[in-house]
Amino acid sequence: MREFITKQIPTAKNDILSGITVALALVPEAVAFAFVAGVDPLVGLYAAFMVGLITSIFGGRPGMISGATGALAVVMVTLVARGNAMGVEGENLGLYYLFLTVILMGAIQMLAGFLKLGKFVRLIPHPVMMGFVNGLAIVIFLSQLGMFKEVVNGEKEWLHGRDMYIMLGLVGLTMLIMFGLSYFKSTSKLPGALIGILVVTGIALFANLDVATVGSFIRDGGGTGLQGGLPTFQSEIFSKIPLNWETFRFILPYSMILAAIGLIESLMTLNLIDDLTETRGNANKECLAQGMSNVVTGFFGGMGGCAMIGQSIINIKSGGRGRLSGIVAAVMLLSFILFAAPYIERIPIAALVGVMFMVVIGTFAWSSFRIFGKIPRADFFVIILVSALTVIFDLAIAVFAGVIVSALVFSWENAVRIRARKSIKEDGTKVYEIWGPLFFGSISNFNNKFDVKNDPVNVEIDFIESRISDHSAIEAIKGIVEKYENANKKVVLKHLSEECKLLLTNNNPAFKDVIVNAIDDPRYHIAEDPENFNQSVTR
């Protein structure tokens, strides 16, 4: 504990001020996502507090903020609705199914951490990352447009006239304050976002402006207010929900989807914060912390959560770098619920919208426009694809699609790079010098390089400039040798790695007469265990 406190001292001032700013921005976000999921606002606020606190203390990325998110909420809404349908009206079973699902979700995430699966986020290509941040910037922007609406006769309608002008003015003023303090490199000890919120709130209160506030936002959504108590252990989960196979079958698909979305969003946000701070977080540690926080949140009445890119960027831009910033944000959020609800509810929504619009501007990768025409068209297509899918569907689908397309493009580009330089020795032996990677994607081109029918009796295949990458390549080599042998021609293989030789000779000892051993044979491994390969060819 002493070491933990010592590490926080150098950045304590910035972390505390940044944490307060983040806490203010967390309130409407957590409430909005709770409404999306179809649960009480306090369920979202409790999730933001518990997930934020635990991940800040135990997570793998200091400075990253976690809480209830929209990416998870859109999946939860169906779960809650189906859960409610399983009980009588007013029983609210969907909420307890949600808690149980969040617990299982956390357990899956912890398992991913124990299995050290977090490292695979490093394999995500840069175009996918750019598409990710662009898509999320657009999603954040679109989510704020709802704040420019008011409830009329039970339905939301766009503000108009004086109300719209006041809203736009306050949003613009908040953005102008933040931009000005940043542009002129103000020496103020307070973050620009916090100053913007305080100034706009003061103007709204002093001028007695009739504008939407945090309190009116909660009440318009069906909530009763921000005031609440400490999170309590939800023992009703085990009395209201039968712990049997049918329940497990119902919640498992939702738990797996939520776990995957939560980890992908958290780990990609971790990567983004790594780039912004020029430091490196621990992905596996973050998986464990995210899982642990969701298990605790499920037991104590929260809707679960993951990393929040918008709030994380607010924190970083406001100077928050240490774990203390996330801890302060979580504790301040709880204090709002317990003690300061009447004051926080008076903050104009316009001030928080202005902060989020500045986050959008800071999040969007504007360089993606400048690099058009300077990068491969396939990479630019991936950026557009991931951005669009993030907006249309969700982050998980967008990332998976982007990675798959990038992998296919990489495979195709390497598949066409296989070359064969042909020459004839003085003794009449034909030599094929293979260039380029030999793997599942290039074996078709590899096979087309050989003219078995018209080649001389003696053939030499040299792999000194090639790399055998997988067992599809091994099978292709075996197939070529068999074709020459069936044509009563002698073929020899040169410069194969030791593992290639082993795989070929284990499959057929006759290959020992075909392979030429040399001191300069390359050393690398094939992408499958030899034992598995032997079993596959035996079958």
pLDDT > 70 fraction of the chain, expressed in percent and rounded: 94
Mean pLDDT of the 31-57 span? 90
Burial 346-364 (b: 16+ CB within 10 A, else e): ebbbbbbbbbbbbbbebbb
Question: Which single residue is written with the structure tokens 């982050």?
Answer: 395
pLDDT at residue 112 in the model: 93
User: Model confidence over 261-278: pLDDT tens digits?
Assistant: 899 889 989 988 998 888
Q: Decide: 151 and 220 in contact? Cβ < 8 Å.
A: yes
Same domain, 467 and 356: no
Q: Decide: 397 and 389 in contact? Cβ < 8 Å.
A: yes
Same domain, 315 and 420: no
**Domain containing 522 — which CATH number?**
3.30.750.24
Range of the domain at 269: 17-365
Domain-located, residue 447: yes
pLDDT band of 62, cuts 50, 70, 90 = very high
Query: What's the pTM?
Result: 0.76
Domain count of the fold of the chain: 2
User: Model confidence over 136-174: pLDDT tens digits?
Assistant: 888 888 888 888 988 787 788 999 999 999 999 999 999
Residue 412 has pLDDT above 60, yes or no: yes
Distance of alpha carbon 330 from alpha carbon 336, whole angstroms: 10
Out of 365, 389, 404, a domain closes at: 365
Mean pLDDT of the 272-298 span? 93
Same domain, 325 and 428: no
pLDDT at residue 534 in the model: 44
Out of 365, 380, 398, a domain closes at: 365
Same domain, 140 and 39: yes
DSSP 367-423: HHHHTTTTS-HHHHHHHHHHHHHHHHS-HHHHHHHHHHHHHHHHHHHHHTT-EEEEE
Mean pLDDT of the 192-213 span? 92
User: Model confidence over 371-386: pLDDT tens digits?
Assistant: 888 888 899 999 999 9
Domain-located, residue 389: no
